[in-house]
Structure 1
Amino acid sequence: MKFIYSAFLFSLLFLILALSPLGATQEFLQNEQPVLILSNDSSFHFELLGPLGQSIYSGADVGPILGAAKDIKPGDFESFSSVFYALANHTKAQAEDPLLAYDPVNVRDTWFAASTYFRRADFYLHGNWEDPRINEYWDEQTSAFDKAIASLPIPGKRLRIPATGFYVEAIWFPASSDCNSKTPTLIVGNGYDEAQEDLYHILVVPALARGWNVLTYEGPGQPTVRRRQNLGFIPDWERVVTPLVDYLFAEQHDIVDTDRLALFGYSFGGYLSARAAAFEPRLSAVMLDPGIWSAYDSFTSSLGSEAVSLLENGTKEDFDDTIASYLNATDAPSSLRWGIEQGLWAFNTISPYDFLQESKKYNIKDVVDKIQMPVWVADAKHDGFFPGQAPLVKKALGDHATYHLFDGAAGYHCHVGALQELTREVFAWLNKTLA
């Protein structure tokens, strides 16, 4: 009986985490995808397409990413890490080459690329919290990124903004050195796994080009706070964002137009930013990409009532033992394995049962009526992580919300590989809404 029960729990988790980005299949056919596939492993394809797309804003170079795609063994986490680590060190050596120092712009972009590659090398390592590479590679990416932003025409500045019980790790990017001119400002936060450094190559560059100040940040559960402060995710994200708004009002009041202060939530940040906006009326607008109604509902959306009942009423010990067996399986699809390992690491728990139960707190249904500013709700046709969630957010917000569905090559989760299309829509809406 216990064997049958454990087998069912294994199937249950398989279905839940099959909703991670791009689904759980190890191989998927070219004619089913809107772009040329970069790996027969669906998770690897997505994680290669991300930095490839960032190349348009100095986050990488196209050839090296395609070379990495060629060399990485599908489904092999160590292969993914080692290929990107080698690329990162090769690129770092180029940035340090004194013969190339004559061109500071090229050196700066080379440091940016090295930082991106170190972050990719870390991405699939979180199954073993004792792996020293988790911190070593992060120190490398941080050092490379800091060298790059220090050489910007207006250097970026790292901040540690105090909050109740922790510090928010942030980077401030002013659009102008003119302290007598107030300009619109964007607060941008990432989500479940990516870093604020990635946001520079997604939204900061196009925002600065349009005259926007940008404050990127990370809170509990996100890469730097998880490492430096050993804190997992918290659902009451206003504890993170309100200190950021306080900082802008107090420390940057000379250059921040407080009537044009927008909050952007990327990936799982779509929930985090919505939650924060419900309790931060000083924001002029909020952008959710994607709109997320309930993390738990998304995990269980394809399950029948009996399966959900077993998750609710099954013993924690049996559930966790089943998942431990699953993690040791050699044929586990990458997206499922990564989804479990990253969730445990980011929520700072060794129990899969606790991780999934904790996800119930990450919903906006009880606070959505408190969001009173204009809201942009993005959706993506091929989003496999939060399918069907954005329309629920739009419906609940009513006239406060503008809904936009990305399709075609921009239809992946977070529109990886189609950042120009993303930024066109983002700044067109901001220009119209905050004019």
Structure 2
Amino acid sequence: MSWDTIITFMRVSSLSGSAMALAFLQSPTSAKAEEEPILSLSTDSAFHFEVLVSLGEALYGGSDLAPVLGAAKNITPGDFESFSQAFQQLAYKTKDQAQDEEANYDPVNVGETWFSAATYFRRADFYLHNNWTNPLINTLWDEQTKAFDKGLSSLPIPGKRLQIPADNFTVEAIWYEPIPHLYKNQTSKRPTLILGNGYDGAQEDLYHTVVVAALARGWNCLTYEGPGHPTVRRKQNLGFIPDWERVVTPLVDYLLKDRSNVVDKDKLALFGFSFGGYLAARAAAFEPRISAVVLDGGVWDSFEAFSPNLSPELKELFDAGNKEAFDEAGRGLLDNPLVPSQARWGLAQGMWAFNTQSPFNFLQATKKYAVKDFITQIKVPVFVADAESEGFFSGQPQMVKDALGDLATLYTFKGAEGYHCQAGAFSSLNRVMFGWLNKVLPK
């Protein structure tokens, strides 16, 4: 998730490899608890945030509070292997519980337990992408997929996995419908939300972030993953692409053709989470059938989120195209525990998601992800979420709002609700977001 801290190591010096890492004066365990707007969950600020993400999914059936806090107690701050092992233990324990529940089949018990197991498997994978040969990258993902699918099948209207053909790749998606008889005065055609995640998130996470809340309000939902997202990255070996309309347009085609009996074509909203704020904005600029867009948060220019954090020496290397020296500096940090967790993870995840082993190529690729190049082509209402503690795209949501003018509504989440993408405060996110959607979509 963190973009501006991905390469904060580059501020320190122009040294390369481990020598640069040793130039850090602050250990990854030295974050100050009093700086957090809530009770600190780890002395490592990155781990604090990731544990909070796991706790937040409990609201909509994706975890349970005490087990997550129990796992967090066993995590050594700054130790990626420790983080993974703690959540692996919890995931396999919960999987065993889910299998026990199946014997006495109670669909609510089964669904909640399998969904929680899936979340814990995803958490166990989170910090592993610095080593692409690690077999756990696929093993844990296979476990999470199987567990999540068990949860999907237990729903009153089971969620349905889809593979939707696109331009030289396949979009992985999941279709969800609400229970019709629960909603008064609702026609057979309903508002529909297309939801995509960002830099590291899975479409499965979106079920426990927005989808449950949307179904409770009578919406259809289609979550998806395109190139760079977890399942497509694994199955198709594809990294992110900037022209994201190639991903979303086939989804709209599917909805308006295959689901036309339940989809109101005039109430088609697009949601982008984290880096998905760029992806959704790009798609909306080139897909005219979208009725409204939610950017959580607003991403103006990805490269501009990185470049100020380069030291003058490394910026000179980058600008000169000295790929070899730049790559040596970056790779030397991935496994060095003296480098802050957020920087190590962010660089590793960026290289993984963009499908390159080169830090230089990764940073170069981010130049293509800038909404300033096309934002005037967006013609529908846009909700831009900002966060008081936003450290990843600080200041950029306001820039998106300013460029869109009256088309955009900017809302800033503050205090304990003010983490990136409202981690731990998804109920607040959904109340505000759906209130806005109800205002801007046709009655």
| TM-score calculated relative to the size of structure 1 | 0.93
For structure 2, list consecutive stretches of 5 or more residues without a partner in the other structure: 1-9
Q: Does 1:241 align with 2:248?
A: yes
Change (3 A) 1:305 1:278: farther
Tell me the SS of whatever aligns to 1:278: helix
Query: 1:82 — aligned with what?
Result: 85
Q: Does 1:324 align with 2:334?
A: no
In 1, are the aligned partners of 2:11 and 2:310 still within 8 Å (CA)? no
User: Equivalent of 2:38, from 31, 35, 38?
Assistant: 35
The 2-side partners of 1:402 and 1:10 are apart by 44
In 2, are the aligned partners of 1:91 and 1:113 still within 8 Å (CA)? yes
The 1-side partners of 2:131 and 2:78 are apart by 17
Query: 1:150 — aligned with what?
Result: 153
Change (3 A) 1:309 1:203: same
- Paired residue type of 2:252: V
What are the equivalent positions in structure 2 for 1:9-24 lying under 5 Å apart?
none
User: Equivalent of 1:187, from 191, 194, 207?
Assistant: 194
Change (3 A) 1:72 1:6: closer
Tell me the SS of whatever aligns to 2:116: helix
User: Equivalent of 1:56, from 35, 56, 59?
Assistant: 59
Change (3 A) 1:102 1:169: closer
User: Equivalent of 1:163, from 160, 163, 166?
Assistant: 166
Q: Does 1:214 align with 2:221?
A: yes
Kindly tell me the number of residue pairs found equivalent between the two proteins: 424
Deviation at 1:66, TM superposition (A): 0.6
Query: 2:108 — aligned with what?
Result: 105
The 2-side partners of 1:69 and 1:144 are apart by 22
Tell me the SS of whatever aligns to 1:262: strand
Deviation at 1:306, TM superposition (A): 7.0
Query: 2:6 — aligned with what?
Result: none
Query: 2:283 — aligned with what?
Result: 276
The 1-side partners of 2:427 and 2:137 are apart by 31
| Deviation by residue 1:162-217 (Cα, 9 ceiling, x = unmatched) | 00110000000012468970000000000000100000000000000000000000
Deviation at 1:322, TM superposition (A): 1.4
Query: 1:357 — aligned with what?
Result: 364
The 1-side partners of 2:433 and 2:225 are apart by 21
Moved more, 293-302 or 341-350: 293-302
Deviation at 1:69, TM superposition (A): 1.0
| Deviation by residue 1:130-172 (Cα, 9 ceiling, x = unmatched) | 1111111000000000011111000100000000110000000
Tell me the SS of whatever aligns to 1:97: helix
Deviation at 1:7, TM superposition (A): 4.4
User: Equivalent of 1:133, from 132, 136, 151?
Assistant: 136
Deviation at 1:329, TM superposition (A): 2.5
User: Equivalent of 1:229, from 233, 236, 261?
Assistant: 236
Deviation at 1:6, TM superposition (A): 11
Change (3 A) 1:328 1:91: closer
Change (3 A) 1:73 1:249: same
What is the Cα-based RMSD across aligned positions, in Å? 2.3
In 2, are the aligned partners of 1:88 and 1:115 still within 8 Å (CA)? yes
What are the equivalent positions in structure 2 for 1:292-311 lying under 5 Å apart?
292-302=299-309, 308-311=315-318
For structure 1, list consecutive stretches of 5 or more residues without a partner in the other structure: none
User: Equivalent of 1:342, from 338, 349, 352?
Assistant: 349
The 1-side partners of 2:421 and 2:429 are apart by 9
Deviation at 1:309, TM superposition (A): 4.0
Change (3 A) 1:411 1:334: same
Change (3 A) 1:326 1:99: closer
Change (3 A) 1:88 1:173: same
Deviation at 1:352, TM superposition (A): 0.3
User: Equivalent of 1:432, from 429, 436, 439?
Assistant: 439
The 1-side partners of 2:335 and 2:215 are apart by 46
The 2-side partners of 1:231 and 1:86 are apart by 30
In 2, are the aligned partners of 1:89 and 1:114 still within 8 Å (CA)? yes
| Deviation by residue 1:199-256 (Cα, 9 ceiling, x = unmatched) | 0000000000000000000000000000000000001100000000000011001100
Tell me the SS of whatever aligns to 2:34: helix
Deviation at 1:299, TM superposition (A): 1.0
Deviation at 1:300, TM superposition (A): 1.9
In 2, are the aligned partners of 1:289 and 1:379 still within 8 Å (CA)? yes
| Deviation by residue 1:306-351 (Cα, 9 ceiling, x = unmatched) | 7644421141001111112222433111111101111111000000
- Paired residue type of 1:270: G
| Deviation by residue 1:256-293 (Cα, 9 ceiling, x = unmatched) | 00111000000100000000000011000001000000
Change (3 A) 1:131 1:25: closer
Q: Does 1:202 align with 2:209?
A: yes
Moved more, 164-173 or 28-37: 28-37
Query: 2:292 — aligned with what?
Result: 285
Moved more, 101-110 or 416-425: 101-110
Q: Does 1:70 align with 2:73?
A: yes
